[in-house]
Amino acid sequence: MTRSRWTQAATALATAAVLVTAGCAAPVQTSGGGNAADGTTSMLIGADNGSPTFERNFNPYSSNKRNTASYIYEPLVIVNEMSGDETPWLAESYEQPDASTVVFHLRDGVTWSDGEDFTADDVVFTFDLLLQHPQLDLRGVGEHIASVEADGSDVIVHLSSEDVPGAVIIAQTMIVPEHLWADVDDPVTFTNEDPVGTGPYTLGEFTPNQYTLVKNETYWQADKVAADRLVQPAANSELDIVNKGYDWAYAFMSDVEDTWVTADPEHNTYWYPAGATIALIPNMTKAPYDNLDFRKGIAAALDKQAIADKAEQGYVDQASQSGLMLPAQEKLLDPDLPNQGVVEQDADAALAHFAAAGYTQSGGKMVDANGQQLTIRITTPNGWSDWLQGVQQVKTQLGALGIEVEVVQPQPAAYQREMRSGEFDMVMGTVGGTGQPYQDFSGMMGARFYQDVGTTASGNFGRFRSPEADALLDELKVTVDDARQAEIAQELQTIAYEQLPMISLFYGGSWGLFSTKSFTGWPSADDPYASPKTWDQTPLLILTSLEPAS
């Protein structure tokens, strides 16, 4: 069965641009963007941070790369991770004639910023590069690819197995030019100081304290670029963002109305949509966390909106137990789930579930059959103040039922080790966030992320086991039927709701700050075409949707 991924052309695309040639000097920007005397436009952004200064590294596969490398290099497909919507980019479309083959139909008329033509050979070279150097493979595409070949302007990818979800994973790979990268001695350590990409920008002036990106005049959709120059300072403090009038920044502000908006009520706006689900992840290899009634007791005991308000100061909502990010993924939601999958606080129901799990109240304490008080140990990363505030609210609410909660705060690296090794009771963690049902649900409940109890996990950190979920995930991996994919996604939501592999609390926010003084068309709750984040690939959707302010 052949399945085209798009029936219509992609939505209009646009990016910022500059009428300055790459490498020429640019003045230091000390205030917001706008129009220069020569008619060019600039945008002051908080997309990257020096530590404390910038390293000139634009290798798109380096973990130390500049965030704006994705404004220079482009993928075949861009995925809005909030909704899962796909936008064709360097590929006009793709299809899967069967579950183990992907055919990308590349866009005509694309050139590299040095004038060389973009071809299918560049795509084949890029995938082969990642297969040969796994250290560069940050998305794990090598797990999915057996081989790649060019056929005219098409690229045919032979997957390692029947792997329908693998198509969209590999489609998000940033493509590099073979005619330059083939001569790189060590692509793993290569810092790519003078990047050549197909994207809307090239690198302009670079200093340790500030750099600029300038418009790629030969960009394949240069007419849609609204800003001629992007200015990125190394320091992007809250004070800088407010006082210097940034056009776009990704930053949490504790009182965004009285700081950012008040600074320029006419132009400053913000959008803080859901970025992922923040949840309590119980360790299913330990009692009593492996007891469903116990997990249901915790879920029913918690006022999740109060936790959300305490942790994120009212900017985000309580999360659905479906595992979806709502409202962005509402089209995937199982309509049979009550209350859109949100489990409301119900103290009586909580007490009934705890009783079924062997715990009852006595003398103001929740105790087991031996009279021992129930104690829950929750791990959250040290320094993550919003999560800590959320956990403290969990502690207060469970304490009202007589449950003792011990909060443990290891450093982030140790926290990650605990999750991978299973050395925890319950952790505060992130679930989902890719917009792709297979990836999100397999990461939440799939057995493929670990081999056996106690082994190192790369997902499903709670070690949840469900033959039904595994069978559904196996089917979702191989079916090319859209209707069946939707049905499976709903069945997995039911498992998440009824079996509680995690206990959803609230949605983690994406902290987008915008000014309409110089540019309009920013994403918003009314037009959620992209996440407001400033890194990875979705900024290309934003930069190609902006228009100069009138």
3-state secondary structure 186-242: CCCCCCCCCCCCCCCEEEEEECCCEEEEEECCCCCCHHHCCCCEEEEECCCCHHHHH
The answer to whether residue 294 is domain-embedded is yes
The answer to whether residue 315 is domain-embedded is yes
CA distances from 27 to 204, 212, 233, 362, 410 (A): 11, 10, 12, 71, 44
Whole-angstrom distance, CA of residue 123 vs CA of residue 152: 12
The answer to whether residue 232 is domain-embedded is no
- At residue 34, the pLDDT reads 66
Q: Please, are residues 200 and 219 in contact by the beta-carbon 8 Å criterion?
A: yes
Q: Which of 56, 72, 68 is nearest to 207 (CA)?
A: 56
| pLDDT of 46 above 90 | yes
**Helix, strand or coil for residue 430?**
strand
Q: What angle do CA 133, 139, 142 make, to 5 degrees?
A: 50
The answer to whether residue 75 is domain-embedded is no
Q: Dihedrals φ, ψ of 149, to 5°?
A: -145, 155
Token output for 258: 């009285």
Whole-angstrom distance, CA of residue 106 vs CA of residue 98: 19
The answer to whether residue 488 is domain-embedded is yes
Q: β-pairing, 34-35 with 41-46?
A: antiparallel
Place of tokens 């056929």: 151
Q: Please, are residues 80 and 530 in contact by the beta-carbon 8 Å criterion?
A: yes
The answer to whether residue 514 is domain-embedded is no
CA-CA-CA-CA torsion sign (213, 217, 221, 224): positive
| pLDDT of 24 above 50 | no
**Helix, strand or coil for residue 49?**
coil
- At residue 343, the pLDDT reads 97
Q: Please, are residues 241 and 46 in contact by the beta-carbon 8 Å criterion?
A: yes
Report the CATH number that the domain containing residue 368 is assigned in CATH. Answer: 3.10.105.10
- At residue 454, the pLDDT reads 46
What domain range includes position 481? Answer: 274-509
146-155, 280-289, 450-459, 504-513: segment of lowest average pLDDT? 450-459
Stretch 522-544: mean pLDDT: 96
Whole-angstrom distance, CA of residue 454 vs CA of residue 467: 19
CA distances from 300 to 28, 342, 393 (A): 55, 10, 15
The answer to whether residue 544 is domain-embedded is no
Token output for 358: 């062997």
**pLDDT class of 37 with cuts at 50, 70, 90:** low
Task: Count structural domains, the chain.
Answer: 1
**pLDDT class of 388 with cuts at 50, 70, 90:** very high
Q: pTM of the prediction?
A: 0.86
| pLDDT of 26 above 50 | no
Whole-angstrom distance, CA of residue 231 vs CA of residue 234: 10
Whole-angstrom distance, CA of residue 352 vs CA of residue 401: 12
The answer to whether residue 331 is domain-embedded is yes
> Is 207 exposed, middle or buried, given 0-12, 13-18 or 19+ CB atoms closer than 10 A?
middle
